[in-house]
Amino acid sequence: MKPLQVNIKNALVNQDELKGYEDRLKAANRRLHSGEDDYTGWVDYPIRYDQNELERILQTAEKIRNQCEVFIVIGIGGSYLGTKAAVEMLNHSFNNLSNLKEEKYPRIFFAGNNISGTYHNELIEKVKEKEISICVISKSGTTTESNIAFSLFKKLLQDKYGDKGSERIYVITDKEKGILREETNEKGYTDFIVPDDIGGRYSVLTPVGLLPIAVFGIDIIEMLKGAGDAYCEYNHSDLSNPCFQYAAVRNILYKRGKLIEVFEAYEPKLRYFAEWIKQLFGESEGKEGKGIFPVYLQFSTDLHSMGQLLQEGNQIFFETVLNVENPDRDIIIPEGSLEVFQGKSMNDINAKAMEGVLLAHLEDGIPNLRIDIPGLSSYYFGQMVYFFEKSCALSGYLLGVNPFDQPGVEKYKKSMRKLIK
């Protein structure tokens, strides 16, 4: 299958500048694959995952599908964004409008990704009469948001199903540490383990994402195949490696004062994939006073609100377009629209919007990268995840930070807990 590609021809970076990065990138690649750094277990995970565990994930997903109408996924940050990204990218956009009873798959709702009493109260109000199963995902098992939401839904299950409620609880957590582990062992919930050597934001292709994603019939075997192919495709150590190019261009632009990377997609299904990317880059690079600030704009929507700032505002950013080459569906524009649109494909017009924006921005000297994604499928989801994870790790090494820790997040967690106490 055609791999995802990076187009840097409009990045306003020349070959000599790129060449200057070759040795550092080779060294970074060796370091990444050597396993000498903690939390690099994700690097070869797609080619070494446990087949028996995968089988157990698929069987559990089937059980959950047969058990519930509503599936609540509880988690925050790296423990939910990957799942949300996959479900939004690969499911029908308007599933919520179809009749629940006729659906093969349960409805998914996310909880514990905020501490809003209104959000959780409204969610419980709407789902409490349905058949419910829940999956709580927390590597540490101590995160405030997921801990609170888990207690709310545990109570709901207990009130609804009594002791049988625990048969509807699925847990993904550390194999030894944390209160969630203790409770899981005590109550005998069905559980899966977050690998020790993989951090939250790099964990979507482990049980953390695979179980909840599989519940929706999304092909996780193809997803792992896409990631496995990406492992091979992006493993070679020369400058034609798209991960090398992307990491180098980001670093060059950052040094030129381009402190913000604006991710842009013309396909709304990519919105949460971009949110996942934001976490990946933000948490991996934002430390020691360094880091490119990742933001996301949905096009053409945000052209009507942010287009002016991009075109003529403070030029401290560069753009990275997530371009879907072959969209799933299309629609022909009928009579009744302006004559110039009639009979044309909506996707063609969307593509022209992308080209038009690029040309206008280039005229004003705005650097632009394009990530060409052949299509929105499970396979390419796996490729995209792997491509961005690897690029981010290389980019972090170039920046001189540890792309696998998050000391700042730990700081806020501690200070919030102190105040709550």
Catalytic residues: 283, 304, 413
For ligand PA5, give the closer residue by CB, 282 or 307.
282
Q: What angle (nearest 5°) sits at the alpha carbon of residue 241, between those of residues 278 and 384? A: 35
Binds ligand PA5 by CB under 6 A, chosen from 60, 83, 146, 206: 146
User: How far, rounded to the nearest angstrom, does the alpha carbon of residue 130 sit from its chain's CA centroid?
Assistant: 28
What are the angstrom distances between the C-alpha of 407 and each of 36, 285, 288, 394, 412?
A: 20, 12, 10, 19, 9
For ligand PA5, give the closer residue by CB, 200 or 291.
200
Binds ligand PA5 by CB under 6 A, chosen from 283, 285, 319, 389: 283
Q: Provide, rounded to whole angstroms, the least separation between the CB of residue 202 and ligand PA5.
A: 8
What are the angstrom distances between the C-alpha of 388 and each of 204, 216, 244, 262?
A: 12, 24, 11, 15
Q: Where are the alpha helices (DSSP H) in 234-294?
A: 242-255, 271-285
Question: Is position 40 an interface residue for ligand PA5 (rule: CB under 6 A)?
Answer: no
Q: Provide, rounded to whole angstroms, the least separation between the CB of residue 131 and ligand PA5.
A: 26
For ligand PA5, give the closer residue by CB, 285 or 319.
285
For ligand PA5, give the closer residue by CB, 146 or 323.
146
Q: Provide, rounded to whole angstroms, the least separation between the CB of residue 203 and ligand PA5.
A: 7
Distance of alpha carbon 317 from alpha carbon 368, whole angstroms: 10
Q: Provide, rounded to whole angstroms, the least separation between the CB of residue 159 and ligand PA5.
A: 25
Residue linked to tokens 């409008």:
97
Binds ligand PA5 by CB under 6 A, chosen from 65, 84, 107, 139: 139
Count, in order, helices (H) and strands (E) of the chain. Answer: 16, 10
Q: Where are the alpha helices (DSSP H) in 162-299?
A: 179-187, 207-214, 220-233, 242-255, 271-285
With a CB cutoff of 8 Å and minimum separation 6, the contacts of 327 are 267, 347, 350, 375, 376
Question: Is position 377 an interface residue for ligand PA5 (rule: CB under 6 A)?
Answer: no
Residue of 279, 264, 262 lying closest to 324 (CA atoms): 264
Q: Provide, rounded to whole angstroms, the least separation between the CB of residue 116 and ligand PA5.
A: 17
Binding part of the chain for ligand PA5, among 102-110, 132-140, 155-163, 259-267 by CB under 6 A, reads: 132-140
Distance of alpha carbon 200 from alpha carbon 387, whole angstroms: 17
Question: Is position 148 an interface residue for ligand PA5 (rule: CB under 6 A)?
Answer: no
Q: Provide, rounded to whole angstroms, the least separation between the CB of residue 139 and ligand PA5.
A: 4
Give the contact letters, 190-219, x = binds to ligand PA5 (CB under 6 A), - = no.
---------xxx------------------
| Residues forming a β-bridge with 297 | 264
Q: Which helix (H) or strand (E) holds 264?
A: strand 260-265
Binds ligand PA5 by CB under 6 A, chosen from 245, 368, 395, 406: 406
Q: Provide, rounded to whole angstroms, the least separation between the CB of residue 411 and ligand PA5.
A: 12
Binds ligand PA5 by CB under 6 A, chosen from 29, 60, 83, 138: 138
Residues in 55-84 at the binding interface with ligand PA5, rule: CB under 6 A: 76-79
Contact residues toward ligand PA5 (CB under 6 A) are 76-79, 138-140, 143, 146, 199-201, 283, 406, 409
